[in-house]
Amino acid sequence: LAKTTQPISMDSYEGQEVNITCSHNNIATNDYITWYQQFPSQGPRFIIQGYKTKVTNEVASLFIPADRKSSTLSLPRVSLSDTAVYYCLVGYSNYQLIWGAGTKLIIKP
Amino acid sequence: NAGVTQTPKFQVLKTGQSMTLQCAQDMNHEYMSWYRQDPGMGLRLIHYSVGAGITDQGEVPNGYNVSRSTTEDFPLRLLSAAPSQTSVYFCASSYASGTYQETQYFGPGTRLLVL
């Protein structure tokens, strides 16, 4: 049974790099990993997506090791406005998405 | 381009009442879905659709009905509201690539309180 597991919460400080790791068993070649960000009273918002190795965009990086059983979202130089819940999910064939339970990230001054 | 819109933003129902939550998207996405999010919890899939005329159940479908008569609209009907259905409801849409969903775009949510 496919499952996506991530830490419940994390704390960090402004200016630090934050890494959130997600484990996902039973992932096939064409399945992909996506991370979303959610602020209170808003819908989730796409951050980054990847299949393997490393993906970088203007807000984050995504590291996926060769076995693809885990992935790490990296947020460089976080600020107070990065305080949010971050969701890892895996996209499987047959339109299935398995969402993690979310990681509540709190950034302190 | 409005993206994904949901109405109403907030609704109060009495137990046993029925209502329809509206969702519309203007991005010509094939895939649409409804999630519920209980306080402090993650998202749970209620129903989804891979195209007009095609719907299927998600993780928590009981007490809800959907239909997809057009590509743009995907209403969610509560048949007989119960306090356990108090939640925030999110609609999402995405392109489909083969049998995979692409990036999902979420609406702003509907807050539902059932008394």
Closest approach of chain A CAs to the CA of B85, in angstroms? 17
pLDDT at site A95: 78
DSSP assignment of A37-98:
EE-TTS--EEEEEESSEEEE-SS-EEEE-TT-SEEEEEESS--GGG-EEEEEEEE-STT-EE
pLDDT at site A94: 80
Q: Is the dihedral of CA A73, A6, A39, A49 positive or negative?
A: positive
Share of chain A above pLDDT 70, in %: 99
CB-closest option in B99, B103, B109 to A43: B109
Chain A positions in Cβ-Cβ contact with residue B98 (cut-off 8 Å): 93
Residue B1 CB burial class (10 angstroms; 0-12, 13-18, ≥19): exposed
Residue keyed to tokens 């990036």: B103
Sorting pLDDT into bands at 50, 70 and 90, what band is A93? Answer: confident
Residue of A1, A55, A97 to mutate for B, most B C-beta atoms under 10 A: A97
CA distance B44 to B16: 23
- DSSP 8-state secondary structure symbol assigned to residue B84: G
Strands A9-13, A103-108: parallel, antiparallel or unpaired by DSSP?
A: parallel
* Amino acid occupying residue B34: W
Share of chain B above pLDDT 70, in %: 100
For A54-77, the pLDDT digits (tens) are 999 999 999 999 988 999 999 999
Average pLDDT over every residue of B46-67: 94
- DSSP 8-state secondary structure symbol assigned to residue B73: B
Chain-chain contact of B90 with A44 (C-beta, under 8 angstroms): yes
For B64-94, the pLDDT digits (tens) are 999 999 999 999 999 999 999 999 999 999 9
